[in-house]
Chains A and B, each alone.
Chain A
């Protein structure tokens, strides 16, 4: 057998046609988008988490004059002075990037009215100080009056190291969040996956009635921000809640509230995945089980569960990831119970400690990436299962069994619909619990903090732009990865970049954007604080699922279309326009509705990035809740719900129309 080494040189190098160049240019542009919108910001954040700032007292010298203004005493380094006076200890000298240190404390008899003069200089080239709000670098002496010296501050030196992480792990209030987050995510995962499994099982394996309705109800939570269930829970179980007694004295503010809310907003995600897993089970296995006289119970454990196990794993990791990275819900109902995602917010918005925010982000990235990685492995196996030829399972009528499941599905649906109904009720009553008459005054957003109707309008613009731009970028990117030839390494790299956003929590992405785009040295700095950065961050945040949808649709298309088209000497964009896009239209619509709905509901990434001109409805819910305007917050949350529900109806109608129009060529006999 010949080996590769036998192949005579020179190797053939392809001559690239016009199409190849256009395609590479396109792929380059979209890859550049992902690098700029994802890789570079994450890198900026990582490096921030390792950046430490310290005031280096050895870098400065000071000389003090007599009251007559004569400099007799020798110059002294600040380090020596501090050693003498013991004013600043080590923690006092470590600071953040914006740190400034005044020096008057080093002089016990300092008075700004004193005629004493001060001479000051840097003794190293990296030292910097500010006097009269001016930056001073270089080692020349400068003289200051006492009044001027009062406002003289030195700036810290940047260093690279683990000390931020050391600080983090030696602060119990911070690192306890890791345990809290893991625990809440684990409990929510077990509850959600169990509930969703039986719900999906009822839909797939029973003959209960109203399946279509139940399916629709199960999808409701996707249409609202994750913090909305928090508001409903406050109305139900809060200090003045309708059903407060049910908690037996426990507070809803804390773990209980977070878990219930998490179960609500992660339910549809788990349900979809498990439904898919159950629907691919092979009916022939059940026939075999029946013919072997296995009991229902035994069949369940030997056929159903093994068949759905990849779906169960996958759902578990997805739910775990959603809960641990969610910010809105614990912010609203978490009370004093700290979670990682909220810590990032508190560090950055509350304490302006960006380095510590970056450290918490890195800590949060670890479980998120781990869960994501395991999920990818599991899904690969699931694909292998899917490709096997199987017979679709048709459930048989069994009245008792069907009734039990009808009851179960009704209970779950009451929970899901109930949460939204409570929010609607909260939005419509005048003043809970004192004035229960109905009014629309809570919808008068312009009277409250949070951005008013302008915020709603901004959200609508963001959602529409995200849906349009995102769909174009994602579909073109997926097309380049899936349907072009050559350039394998570039395509593999692109594919990896496209998978990354799924593993990056929104809070982390938002913070990374601050570090990257708010840097004045960045030529893209101008998008900071505009609608553009909100669109870019939202498209990037929800890139992976959209990308996978597009790739799946493209994979279903005949691989030889491109070959045929180029053999007929037609440019690739003609095929793209006339065949690829029309055939993929259902998937394209799915991507755009997915992006629209998520852009309406997302809080996590954008909470760091909105400005006074670009306040958003979802953030307004958060801020109004924060300000105690809970009823208006519920009303705004319901506005998001109406909008998303309407968008879904329009999407369904459009899909139906397209399917009807293409009936002639899709799968006819």
Chain B
């Protein structure tokens, strides 16, 4: 997939609003048929980037190329994309059929051809009998599917989704995630989706572009992003991370409050202040300290919270680790080991699960 020539190429894109730099030297390649998510907190520039690709808000400088053609300065009407907004933007006074047919008119299609295409699209999004209704008579999820049908009606080369599921109820959202992904796979249409919901990005995207402060922090598959975050920001924004401050010791170890942690490969020199990060689910509880695995600690449980499928626990180290850790214990483990608030136990921080980042304020 990565060998093929990119369908969408963004080179050195900058965008400012007055004195505020919203996008800072963004370069990115997207392959044909890929499902890409722009993920980041609000104000990170993800929507700005999407709107630059669409030509709705032109970048200040830089180049956008689609299917080998330079589209940097073209107005939206001369580009080849369909778009779905968070608000759906369905025309309230037109029926569902006329909403979907909106882009098909003026294209030299015959009336029966348009009607046939609308029927086909309604079936594709699973709402075959709703054509005569008005948008306000449909539920939010249904409206969003109509917006999707309208966006793909003219077979655009690129589908842009701007937080399409954010306005929906949690359950409908999860259901539509699957639907949209399925539809995209079926049509093979190159898709860019903007979202601030990491779960949505992880479950839908082929690749995720994590953005912060107008720059790209990391581009990668969901697994890469989750397992091997390129920065502390990515680590913290996607999933959860325990952060422990320390200093690099000899042979790649990191000292934390007098204790030494063995870490996987990193490139920091001795004496650098660093942050060691580990995901809660990667902390391994041990019933007894027998066998003494590397990086094992004595901790006590200060708080336990039942979250349905697992327990969330706050751990406090004995004298040597004064920084609290958050971990998830399976229901089984809790029952088997009789874990409860106040109990002490041994935990292991497996070296391959530890990520080392420069301490905040250093780069």
A interface with B by C-beta (< 8 Å): 1-4, 6-20, 485, 558, 560-561, 563-571, 574, 578-579, 582-583, 662, 664-669
Q: Which residues of B contact A485 (CB under 8 A)?
A: 56-57
CB-CB under 8 A for A578 and B21, given A12-B72, A19-B75, A560-B87 = no
A19 and chain B: residue at smallest CB distance: B77
What is the predominant secondary structure among interface residues of chain B facing chain A?
loop
Chain A CB within 10 A, most for which of B57, B136, B153: B136
Whether B106 and A574, one on each chain, are in contact in the complex, defined by CB atoms closer than 8 angstroms, is yes
- Complex alpha-carbon distance, A512 and B282, angstroms: 80
CB-CB under 8 A for A7 and B61, given A563-B76, A568-B103 = yes
Pairs across A and B, CB under 8 Å, 17 listed: A3-B19, A4-B21, A7-B61, A11-B60, A12-B61, A18-B77, A19-B75, A563-B76, A564-B85, A567-B77, A567-B103, A579-B92, A583-B92, A665-B92, A665-B137, A666-B136, A669-B136
Q: Which residues of B contact A2 (CB under 8 A)?
A: 21, 24-25, 214
Contact with A along B5-16 (1 / 0, CB 8 A): 000000010101
Residues in B58-99 with C-beta less than 8 Å from chain A: 58-62, 72-79, 81-83, 85, 87, 89, 91-94
Kindly identify which residue among A20, A569, A579, A666 contacts B94, using a CB–CB cutoff of 8 Å: A579
Q: Which residues of B contact A19 (CB under 8 A)?
A: 75, 77
Could you tell me the distance in whole angstroms from the C-beta of B134 to the nearest C-beta in chain A? 4
Q: Which residues of B contact A568 (CB under 8 A)?
A: 82, 102-103, 150, 153-154
Kindly identify which residue among A11, A20, A583 contacts B75, using a CB–CB cutoff of 8 Å: A20
Q: Does B54 contact A (CB under 8 A)?
A: yes
Whether A558 and B60, one on each chain, are in contact in the complex, defined by CB atoms closer than 8 angstroms, is no
Kindly identify which residue among A560, A571, A665, A668 contacts B89, using a CB–CB cutoff of 8 Å: A560
B16 and chain A: residue at smallest CB distance: A4
Whether B89 and A567, one on each chain, are in contact in the complex, defined by CB atoms closer than 8 angstroms, is no
Q: Does B228 contact A (CB under 8 A)?
A: no
Whether B75 and A567, one on each chain, are in contact in the complex, defined by CB atoms closer than 8 angstroms, is no
Whether A11 and B61, one on each chain, are in contact in the complex, defined by CB atoms closer than 8 angstroms, is yes
Whether A7 and B16, one on each chain, are in contact in the complex, defined by CB atoms closer than 8 angstroms, is yes
- Given contact pairs A565-B102, A568-B103, enumerate 5 new A-B contacts (beta carbons under 8 Å): A7-B60, A7-B61, A14-B58, A563-B89, A665-B93
Q: Does B135 contact A (CB under 8 A)?
A: yes
Q: Which residues of A contact B107 (CB under 8 A)?
A: 569
Whether A567 and B82, one on each chain, are in contact in the complex, defined by CB atoms closer than 8 angstroms, is yes
Could you tell me the distance in whole angstroms from the C-beta of B246 to the nearest C-beta in chain A? 28
Could you tell me the distance in whole angstroms from the C-beta of B289 to the nearest C-beta in chain A? 48
- Complex alpha-carbon distance, A669 and B76, angstroms: 34
Q: Which residues of B contact A666 (CB under 8 A)?
A: 92, 136
Q: Does B105 contact A (CB under 8 A)?
A: yes
Could you tell me the distance in whole angstroms from the C-beta of B214 to the nearest C-beta in chain A? 8
Kindly identify which residue among A10, A12, A563, A570 contacts B85, using a CB–CB cutoff of 8 Å: A563
Q: Which residues of B contact A1 (CB under 8 A)?
A: 21, 213
Could you tell me the distance in whole angstroms from the C-beta of A325 to the nearest C-beta in chain B? 38
Whether A15 and B73, one on each chain, are in contact in the complex, defined by CB atoms closer than 8 angstroms, is yes
Could you tell me the distance in whole angstroms from the C-beta of B133 to the nearest C-beta in chain A? 8
Whether A664 and B89, one on each chain, are in contact in the complex, defined by CB atoms closer than 8 angstroms, is no
- Complex alpha-carbon distance, A669 and B139, angstroms: 9
Contact with A along B142-179 (1 / 0, CB 8 A): 00000000110110100000000000000000000000
- Complex alpha-carbon distance, A19 and B87, angstroms: 24
Q: How many residues of B are counted as interface, with CB atoms below 8 angstroms from the partner's CB atoms? A: 50
Could you tell me the distance in whole angstroms from the C-beta of B89 to the nearest C-beta in chain A? 4
Whether A12 and B54, one on each chain, are in contact in the complex, defined by CB atoms closer than 8 angstroms, is no
- Complex alpha-carbon distance, A558 and B153, angstroms: 21
Q: Which residues of A contact B150 (CB under 8 A)?
A: 564, 568
Q: Which residues of A contact B156 (CB under 8 A)?
A: 567
- Complex alpha-carbon distance, A9 and B72, angstroms: 14
Whether B103 and A569, one on each chain, are in contact in the complex, defined by CB atoms closer than 8 angstroms, is yes
Q: Which residues of B contact A667 (CB under 8 A)?
A: 136
Q: Which residues of B contact A582 (CB under 8 A)?
A: 93
Q: Which residues of A contact B74 (CB under 8 A)?
A: 15, 17
- Complex alpha-carbon distance, A582 and B19, angstroms: 39
Whether B136 and A561, one on each chain, are in contact in the complex, defined by CB atoms closer than 8 angstroms, is no
8 shortest interchain CB distances as A-B pairs: A568-B103, A17-B75, A665-B134, A560-B89, A15-B73, A566-B76, A7-B14, A566-B77
Could you tell me the distance in whole angstroms from the C-beta of A78 to the nearest C-beta in chain B? 64
Whether A561 and B89, one on each chain, are in contact in the complex, defined by CB atoms closer than 8 angstroms, is yes
Whether B91 and A579, one on each chain, are in contact in the complex, defined by CB atoms closer than 8 angstroms, is yes
Q: Which residues of A contact B134 (CB under 8 A)?
A: 664-665, 668
Whether A567 and B83, one on each chain, are in contact in the complex, defined by CB atoms closer than 8 angstroms, is yes
- Complex alpha-carbon distance, A578 and B74, angstroms: 25
Kindly identify which residue among B60, B77, B91, B153 contacts A12, using a CB–CB cutoff of 8 Å: B60
A569 and chain B: residue at smallest CB distance: B77
A668 and chain B: residue at smallest CB distance: B136
- Complex alpha-carbon distance, A668 and B133, angstroms: 11
- Complex alpha-carbon distance, A198 and B136, angstroms: 39
CB-CB under 8 A for A3 and B87, given A8-B61, A583-B92 = no
Whether A570 and B105, one on each chain, are in contact in the complex, defined by CB atoms closer than 8 angstroms, is yes
Whether A578 and B94, one on each chain, are in contact in the complex, defined by CB atoms closer than 8 angstroms, is yes
CB-CB under 8 A for A12 and B21, given A564-B83, A568-B154, A583-B92 = no
Whether A579 and B93, one on each chain, are in contact in the complex, defined by CB atoms closer than 8 angstroms, is yes
Whether B91 and A578, one on each chain, are in contact in the complex, defined by CB atoms closer than 8 angstroms, is yes
- Complex alpha-carbon distance, A561 and B75, angstroms: 16
Chain A CB within 10 A, most for which of B12, B76, B134: B76
- Complex alpha-carbon distance, A666 and B19, angstroms: 41
- Complex alpha-carbon distance, A666 and B79, angstroms: 33
Q: Which residues of B contact A16 (CB under 8 A)?
A: 75
Could you tell me the distance in whole angstroms from the C-beta of A491 to the nearest C-beta in chain B? 15
Could you tell me the distance in whole angstroms from the C-beta of B146 to the nearest C-beta in chain A? 12
Chain B CB within 10 A, most for which of A10, A564, A569: A564
- Complex alpha-carbon distance, A477 and B182, angstroms: 45
Whether B58 and A12, one on each chain, are in contact in the complex, defined by CB atoms closer than 8 angstroms, is yes
Q: Which residues of B contact A579 (CB under 8 A)?
A: 91-94
Whether A569 and B93, one on each chain, are in contact in the complex, defined by CB atoms closer than 8 angstroms, is no
Chain A CB within 10 A, most for which of B77, B105, B107: B77
- Complex alpha-carbon distance, A266 and B213, angstroms: 53
CB-CB under 8 A for A561 and B102, given A2-B21, A11-B61, A17-B75 = no
Q: Which residues of A contact B214 (CB under 8 A)?
A: 2
